[in-house]
Structure 1
C-alpha cells in the first residue's frame, strides 16, 4: 500500500502503456475511464519506464531469484496428484492510496467485530435463531457448526483473533467482500514474502513512495499471542496439518519469523486437562494454539474420528479453558456462502448499523422470496452450494454461471433449486476490476481480487497495511485462483 506522497520522476525511455487496453465496462486499477494513469500510479509507472525494458527485466528477475533462493513454494493438487509450484509473483504491485485504504480498513474492522458477535451468539444464547434472523436448519446442516463446542467460552475471551477477507472492485467502483476467512486464514506469510521480493526489485522506487511496512503488524500480533500465553503460564505454538498441506511453506515461514513453535497434532498430548507438547525435557504446557488446520480435524475423539492430524482430548482442554485456540473451533461457520445472505440483517440486529463494505449480493434459495428472485434472474447469477466455504472463482465443479448454462443443464438446475432450494445460493455475478501485469516488456490488464488480513492486538483489531492481490494469468476471472495458475502481487 502506497502513502501517495512520493517524489515525481520525470523522463521516459519506454512507454509501458503503449499496448495497454482496458476492458470496456470494467474498472481498471491503474488508469481511469479516459485511459490516464490514476494519481497514485502516475509516478510509479514513470519510474518503471525510466529504468527501461532491460533493467526492468533484470529487476524482476532479481525478485524471482530471491523467491527461489528462499524456497518459497505452493503445493498444487490436481487430477495428476500433488506437486510443488514456485510461488508465482506478479511483479507489478497493486497500489492503493491511504484514503481509500482507510475506508477499506474501517469496513473490515466493522465486519470482524460483527463476526465475533455473531459467532458468540450462535455458540451461546442463540438469539439470532430465536428471533428468526438465522434459519436453524441452515446452521445445523453446516459441517462448520461444531456441536461439541456449543456453550464453550474461549479462554481468551474472543472467538476470532486472525481473519482475512477477499475483496473485489465491481464496475461501480466500490469494493465488495467476495469471501470471508475465519477458519484458519492462509496467505499472510506469502504476503510478507511478496513484499520482500518486490522490495528487492524496486527498493529505490518503494523508498520514494514511502510504502507502509508490514513488520509492525506481525510484531503486534506476536506480542498479543505471547501476552495471552504469559497470563495462562504456557507456550505459544502453531498447529499445522503437516508438510503435505498446500500452504505448509507459509506455516513454517511464519513460525520462524515470529519465533513460535511449529507443531503437528502428534507432537501434542492432553494430560490432566491441559494441552502439552512433547519435548526432550518432558511435557511442557501449551496455552495458545494458532491452528492452521480445519477445526473438524483438530480432535478425533469429539470431532472427525478419522482425523490423523489432530490431538485427542483437545476439545476438552479448550472446554476447560486450559488453551486458547486461534481461531476458536467452529468459527469457520462464517465462511459459508449462505451466511452472506443474512449479514445485513444481522448487522442491524446486533450493531444497529449497515455494512460499510457490502458482501457480494447473495440469496439463499431456502427462502421462498430468495428462490423466486434467483430463478427469475438466473442469467445474472452464479449458483453454488449454500454451505460451501470456497469462493465462486475457486470452485468450477459445483458452481455454475447461469448465463453459460445450455438448455438441458439449465432445466435440470432449475428443477434442483425448486426441489432442494436450501442447498443452493445465488450470488450476483461480479466482474472484477483489472490491474496491470508485466508481459513481454509491456503492461497488460488482468482481473484481480484483494486479500486483506486483520489481527486482534492489544489495540484491538489491526489491519495489515497491505496484503496480496490474486491476479489472473489471463482475462478469465476464474484464472486468479492459485490452484489454477493465478499470480500473486504485493499490495
Structure 2
C-alpha cells in the first residue's frame, strides 16, 4: 500500500476512506464478515486436523488493489504462458518434439507420476488440454511479478474469490464505483460458455463431477454447479453405455456431454488408472477417447503441474512461441541435477524446498523459518529421492495491510488469478489474494492457516 512513506496511487482513495473508520467499527465489520462466511457455508475441510475438519477461509476486510496497467502485464503474461503450456502438453502426448530437441531432459518428463501413458495419442475436444488454470503469482520487494507455480489439474479457490467480493461490497459499497473496480460476477457465465464450447451439440448437458462432501473444496463444487445452473454429480450418479456417459435422474437416463471434473486424473476411471478408486466412473476414459464426452481439464494435463517441469516453462515459451516470457519464473534449483543438488544440500537453511507433486503447502520447508532438525530431515529426504524435490530462494514477498488483534499490520500475500481457455483465453479481472495471517509467515495456503482478501483490479 505504501512505497516507503508515500501511499501508492491505486490505494490513495481507499486510504482516505479507511481513515474514517474507528478501530471499533473495523472490528465490528470484520466480525460481520466472519459471520457472513459461515452463514454462506464458505467452509473448507482440513485433513489431519484434530480440532474438526470444517473451517472458514478467513476473509480480511482490507482489499488488495492492483492498477489497470499492472493487471495488463499479468493478463498478457498468463495468456502467453497458458498458450505455450497447452502446446507443450499436446506435444508430450504426440510428437515429443521438445524432448527430441533436448530442451527438456526426456527422463524428467517420463519419470513424472503425472505423465499418463493411457493419454499418449489422445486428441481432446478443440485441441484444448488446460481449460481452467489457477497460476500462483508473487511480487518481490522491488515490485516485480513472478510466477511461483502453475495449477492445471483441479485449481480451487475461485468460489471464495466470488463470495469475498459479495461480502466486501457490503462493507464498502460506495468505493467500488468511486475507484472503478472491475467486476468478477460474470465468472460463472464465462465458465459455462467455455464448457459448452467443448461440445459440438447446440445445447450440451454440462455437469460438475465432485468426489463428494468430504473433499476439501466441496463448497466450491456445489457453489459453481449452482451458479452455472447445472447438476452436481458424484461417480455413482453416472453410468457408461455404448461408450457414452449418462446421468441417472428421476426421469430416467440423460446423456452427459461435458464434465467439469474435480477429481484427480488417477481416480477418474478405475478401469484405466487406479483400480482401487471408488470416486470415478468405470469406462469413462473410453467414452472420452471415443469423443462422446468432453472433460475439463483433460486427463494428463497434470504433467505441466509438476514443479520440476515448472523450471523449464521459460524455455517452453521460447520453444513453442519464439517469445521471451512476459512474467518470469522464480529462480529454481532442480535437485535431480547434480550441481543443483549439491547447492541445495549446502544452502538448505536459506532455501524453500518443495515436493514436486505436493500441493496445499504440504511437503514444503522454508529454510530460514525451519529448525536444525527440519533442515537435517529435508537433507535426507532430498538425497534419498532428488527427482522428488526442487528448491527456490526465499523471496521477500510483498505485504498488504491486514486487520490483526493488535491493529492494522503488514502480512505477506500471493495472488491466484484464474484463466479460462475456450474459444479464446480469458483471464478473470480479479484474483484470490491469499494472505499469511501469522506475523512474519510466508505460508499463505488455507490448509496451513492462511486467509484471503478481495482483489480489486482497477479500470485503466
Q: TM-score, normalised by structure 2?
A: 0.92
The answer as to whether partners of 1:335 and 1:389 remain within 8 angstroms in 2 is no
Secondary structure of the 1:92 match is strand
Give the structure 2 partner of residue 268 of structure 1.
Answer: 238
Secondary structure of the 2:173 match is helix
User: Quick one: which of 438, 442, 448 aligns to 1:474?
Assistant: 438
In the TM superposition, residue 198 of structure 1 has moved relative to its aligned partner by 0.7
The answer as to whether partners of 1:233 and 1:287 remain within 8 angstroms in 2 is no
In the TM superposition, residue 343 of structure 1 has moved relative to its aligned partner by 1.5
Instruction: Give me the whole-angstrom Cα distance separating, in 2, the residues matched to 1:334 and 1:40.
Output: 34
Give the structure 2 partner of residue 483 of structure 1.
Answer: 447
Secondary structure of the 1:256 match is helix
Equivalenced residue count is 455
User: Quick one: which of 377, 399, 411 aligns to 2:364?
Assistant: 399
Give the structure 2 partner of residue 159 of structure 1.
Answer: 129
Give the structure 2 partner of residue 99 of structure 1.
Answer: 69
- 1:278-293 residue pairs with structure 2 within 5 A? 278-293=248-263
> CA 1:99–1:320 in structure 2 vs 1: closer, same or farther (change >3 Å)?
same
Give the structure 1 partner of residue 428 of structure 2.
Answer: 464
Q: TM-score, normalised by structure 1?
A: 0.87
Of the structure 1 ranges 232-241 and 142-151, higher mean CA displacement relative to structure 2 is found in 232-241
The reply to whether residue 320 of structure 1 matches residue 290 of structure 2 is yes
Give the structure 2 partner of residue 390 of structure 1.
Answer: 359
Instruction: Give me the whole-angstrom Cα distance separating, in 1, the residues matched to 2:122 and 2:203.
Output: 21
The reply to whether residue 439 of structure 1 matches residue 404 of structure 2 is yes
In the TM superposition, residue 377 of structure 1 has moved relative to its aligned partner by 4.4
Give the structure 2 partner of residue 144 of structure 1.
Answer: 114
> CA 1:149–1:66 in structure 2 vs 1: closer, same or farther (change >3 Å)?
same
Secondary structure of the 2:206 match is strand
Of the structure 1 ranges 112-121 and 480-489, higher mean CA displacement relative to structure 2 is found in 480-489
> Which whole-Å deviations, capped at 9, do the CAs of 1:345-371 have from their partners, x for residues lacking one?
222211112211112111212223433
**RMSD over aligned Cα atoms:** 2.2
Secondary structure of the 1:160 match is coil
Instruction: Give me the whole-angstrom Cα distance separating, in 1, the residues matched to 2:133 and 2:191.
Output: 12
Instruction: Give me the whole-angstrom Cα distance separating, in 1, the residues matched to 2:358 and 2:103.
Output: 21
Of the structure 1 ranges 213-222 and 246-255, higher mean CA displacement relative to structure 2 is found in 213-222
> Which whole-Å deviations, capped at 9, do the CAs of 1:86-114 have from their partners, x for residues lacking one?
23111111011111011111111111111
In the TM superposition, residue 78 of structure 1 has moved relative to its aligned partner by 2.3
Give the structure 1 partner of residue 416 of structure 2.
Answer: 451
The reply to whether residue 365 of structure 1 matches residue 335 of structure 2 is yes
> CA 1:93–1:409 in structure 2 vs 1: closer, same or farther (change >3 Å)?
closer
Instruction: Give me the whole-angstrom Cα distance separating, in 2, the residues matched to 1:406 and 1:354.
Output: 39
Instruction: Give me the whole-angstrom Cα distance separating, in 1, the residues matched to 2:51 and 2:366.
Output: 27
> Which whole-Å deviations, capped at 9, do the CAs of 1:92-140 have from their partners, x for residues lacking one?
1101111101111111111111110111111111112222222232222
> CA 1:419–1:467 in structure 2 vs 1: closer, same or farther (change >3 Å)?
closer
In the TM superposition, residue 287 of structure 1 has moved relative to its aligned partner by 1.3
Instruction: Give me the whole-angstrom Cα distance separating, in 1, the residues matched to 2:376 and 2:30.
Output: 50
> CA 1:45–1:314 in structure 2 vs 1: closer, same or farther (change >3 Å)?
same
> CA 1:409–1:389 in structure 2 vs 1: closer, same or farther (change >3 Å)?
closer
The reply to whether residue 110 of structure 1 matches residue 74 of structure 2 is no
> Which whole-Å deviations, capped at 9, do the CAs of 1:421-470 have from their partners, x for residues lacking one?
33332222222111111234831101111111011243x11111111111
Secondary structure of the 1:203 match is coil
User: Quick one: which of 31, 55, 69 aligns to 2:2?
Assistant: 31
Secondary structure of the 1:250 match is helix
In the TM superposition, residue 416 of structure 1 has moved relative to its aligned partner by 6.1
Give the structure 1 partner of residue 46 of structure 2.
Answer: 76
> Which whole-Å deviations, capped at 9, do the CAs of 1:68-91 have from their partners, x for residues lacking one?
322221112224275111231111
Secondary structure of the 1:215 match is coil
Of the structure 1 ranges 263-272 and 405-414, higher mean CA displacement relative to structure 2 is found in 405-414
In the TM superposition, residue 329 of structure 1 has moved relative to its aligned partner by 0.5
Instruction: Give me the whole-angstrom Cα distance separating, in 2, the residues matched to 1:314 and 1:31.
Output: 53
Secondary structure of the 1:328 match is coil
- 1:305-384 residue pairs with structure 2 within 5 A? 305-375=275-345, 377-384=347-354
Give the structure 2 partner of residue 27 of structure 1.
Answer: none
Gaps of 5+ in 2: 456-460
> CA 1:366–1:57 in structure 2 vs 1: closer, same or farther (change >3 Å)?
closer
Instruction: Give me the whole-angstrom Cα distance separating, in 1, the residues matched to 2:373 and 2:175.
Output: 55
Instruction: Give me the whole-angstrom Cα distance separating, in 1, the residues matched to 2:151 and 2:202.
Output: 27
Instruction: Give me the whole-angstrom Cα distance separating, in 2, the residues matched to 1:410 and 1:480.
Output: 21
